[in-house]
Structure 1
Amino acid sequence: MTDKTTLRHTAQAALVGAATLALATTATAGSHGGVNYEGQTIEFVIPFSESGGSARWANFYAPLLSEALPGNPTVVVRYRPGAGSTTGANWFQEQTTDDGTLIFGTSGSTQFPYLLGDPRVRYEYNDWQVVLASGTGGVAYLPPDEAAKMDGLDATGLQGTDYIWGSQGATRLDLVANLAWEMLGMNVEPVFGIEGRGDGRLMFERGEANIDYQTSSAYLRSVQPMVDEGLAVPMMTWGALDNAGNIVRDPTFPDIPSFKEVCEATPACATEGDAWDAWKAFFIAGFPAQKMVFLPGSASADVVETFSQAFDDIIARDDFDTLAEKTLGVYPQMTRDGAKAAFQLGTQVPEEARAFVVNWLEESYGVTLE
């Protein structure tokens, strides 16, 4: 077993500890129930623009899914961005396709408005049928001159600078970053309304933003080259979970400190108390189970089984770990009971954490949800 495979299994075990449920990445071979997609097109819709990590994730799986589904259909990724993914999710809620020719991919930015009771949400996760859940991570980064202000892991030197970054919205996955930076005592002003994290990266590249974060797949593809050229410096990852539910270093980026490490080294920050508990709860909801593939609730049991088996077969490929590591990083990919457990993890948070974040959003950004 390779070191990377071991790390992937460690990440899987971490999710077990956090969810307190048994997860499974593969299952025994099953029947396709007579479902065949020969000559057909499967639309894989994501509610984001084509420049971010969700697009990278969907385009990674699309050709593999084409190979794995019976009849080898064409799988085409479609983009329906808007309102930080709420527009696309509301659209999917209304779809009644029952034959598997439509699947939908979500992210933490879709989960968080649902968790927080955002009034724009008209979708109900429990109406959908999950067939894949993908864990991921996130990396915050700075321009080299800003990164030089840190004293080792201590971020105190960043407190005197006004930072700007592109954010999808206050109630989206970006709240993990916004709350982390505030806990460090930094003054980071979000420019809300971008359609995907890739648009935030483009702002950084153009010099319109001087801080940013990307989920792992987008960081590997689009930010690492900037780091290699000396144009950006990683600040921290959000971390990962060990099998006791503790925040540890992200296995995809073992040389980059976690937010917990930076927080512990920065006097303004604390890894206990209400803010930390809320941050950790939303981090867990948003990253270890961050991206999921759903069929509409109207899809038949045979269709659900066909897609579950197809994702099982993809994950069981001899070359899957190598392909995924290069594109997605080292994280668990879950089907069947594992996907259902991850679904529960990603669509619920403790009421105390939710109440803290609702109050914080109103105080910090004037966002009222209740």
Structure 2
Amino acid sequence: MSRLLSRRTLLGTGVVAALGGAVGCAPVQTKYQPSGEGIVDVVVPYGTGGGTDTWARFITPYFAELQPDVDRYQIENLPGGETITGTNAFVRAGVTNGRQALVASATTYFQSMLGQSTAEFDFARMEPLALNGTGAVLWTSAESGIRSIEDLMGNATQYRYGGMSASGLDLVPLLALEALGANVRGVFGMEGRGPTRLAVERGESDLDFQTTSSYLSQVKPKVDTGEAIPLFAVGSLENGEVRRDKNLPDIPTFAEIFEGLGHRTERQELAYSAFQSFVVPGFFYQKGLWANAGTSSSVIETYDELVSELNQDDQFLEEAKDALGGYDLVSGSDAKADFRRALEMDEDVLAFTKTVLEDKYDAVLD
């Protein structure tokens, strides 16, 4: 039995999860207190059991196993304020020696990008250590009356998009629909992607956005029977260029669709620029392990090596299929330029995005 497998087996007993759960109920610390020698503290600004928390608990034991001076990563869940509470606590601590890290996801990135007044963090300055993206598909039911993406270009019939929150991950497909000039009404407040999918299947909404893994397992079988229709995928980022998703090779990317349009209004161009910015942290690099600005270059180089080693480990790749969603683990150094470029939105693009959220979808931004 390999060392990686033995560590993963230990996780399965719930030992590390129990440690994380024990600190998960603790109040936010005003001053960082290291857990001890050989322990890397990890702030997860989400509650236990969600996708980001699960990702953190899966990936960190592999990092620990490959570092002789690290015994374990200790998860501390600090939810609140739509992930702002825990992330603020992390940046206030200002640890730059690699003994504390942050696990962040799209919700956290968007708080910073949208200029939420209580967010004290800036991912354009922080250091990504390891990132993991995912794809996604906009789809519809055959009963909706939508037959192709062309039916969403200046459509007279108003279609319903069902989602969780306009300012969360749903912002990406909403901006794509704005770029098409689609006549769409948002229906929000659903509890997850399962309910948004079921809403389309029941005829309660017309459009839904599912990550690749959920699309392949829950929607693709209905595509095969003619009950569902895929409209576009976000694709994946390769060397700074959007390509078709290797897991969804037959579905065109939104970039392909938009670039093939004829006349485009200024509003459509603004929407597409916003889409391009938010899709990078929202999907291409959706989850990640982060360090504070000013972190030692030796720490960053260590994670580059760890990611490279894991990506060449067949056992890890097999065990990581579900956790990584069929996508690669990416070193922070390789992704940093693309990530930071996406955050450099023009003021008019940001203003447009906020206007759409506030005026069309009644999102509260401060």
Distance 1:201 1:266, change over 3 A: farther
Residue of structure 2 equivalent to 1:163: 160
Q: Is the 8 A contact 1:108 1:290 kept in 2?
A: yes
Q: Give the residue type in structure 2 aligned to 1:142.
A: T
Deviations 1:177-235 (A, max 9, x none): 1122334414231425x7xxx724344347676543234xxx41x44322255386543
Distance 1:355 1:321, change over 3 A: same
Matched, 1:145 2:140: no
Matched, 1:225 2:225: no
Matched, 1:313 2:306: no
Matched, 1:251 2:246: yes
Matched, 1:201 2:194: yes
Q: Is the 8 A contact 1:142 1:233 kept in 2?
A: yes
Matched, 1:50 2:61: no
TM-score normalised per structure 1: 0.68
Distance 1:51 1:162, change over 3 A: farther
Residue of structure 1 equivalent to 2:129: 131
Aligned match of 1:276 in 272, 279, 288? Answer: 272
- Percent of aligned pairs sharing the same letter: 25
Q: Give the residue type in structure 1 aligned to 2:110.
A: F
Q: Give the residue type in structure 1 aligned to 2:131.
A: A
Aligned match of 1:108 in 103, 106, 109? Answer: 106
How far apart are 1:281 and its partner, in Å? 3.3
How far apart are 1:254 and its partner, in Å? 0.9
Q: Secondary structure at the match of 2:185?
A: strand
Residue of structure 1 equivalent to 2:92: 94
The structure number with the bigger radius of gyration is: 2
- Equivalenced residues, count: 321
Q: Is the 8 A contact 2:307 2:329 kept in 1?
A: no
How far apart are 1:110 and its partner, in Å? 1.9
Aligned match of 1:334 in 319, 330, 335? Answer: 330
Matched, 1:355 2:355: no
How far apart are 1:315 and its partner, in Å? 2.7
How far apart are 1:362 and its partner, in Å? 3.6
Distance 1:236 1:296, change over 3 A: same
CA distance in 1, matches of 2:162, 2:346: 29
Higher relative contact order (CA 8 A, sep 6+): 1
CA distance in 1, matches of 2:279, 2:146: 24
- Structure 2 residue runs of 5 or longer lacking an equivalent are 1-35
CA distance in 2, matches of 1:316, 1:99: 27
Q: Give the residue type in structure 1 aligned to 2:250.
A: D
How far apart are 1:360 and its partner, in Å? 2.9
CA distance in 1, matches of 2:62, 2:326: 18
Q: Is the 8 A contact 1:282 1:349 kept in 2?
A: no
Q: Give the residue type in structure 2 aligned to 1:294.
A: W
Q: Secondary structure at the match of 2:306?
A: helix
Q: Secondary structure at the match of 1:167?
A: coil
Q: CA RMSD in A?
A: 4.0
TM-score normalised per structure 2: 0.69
Q: Secondary structure at the match of 1:287?
A: helix
CA distance in 2, matches of 1:291, 1:348: 19
Q: Give the residue type in structure 2 aligned to 1:50.
A: G
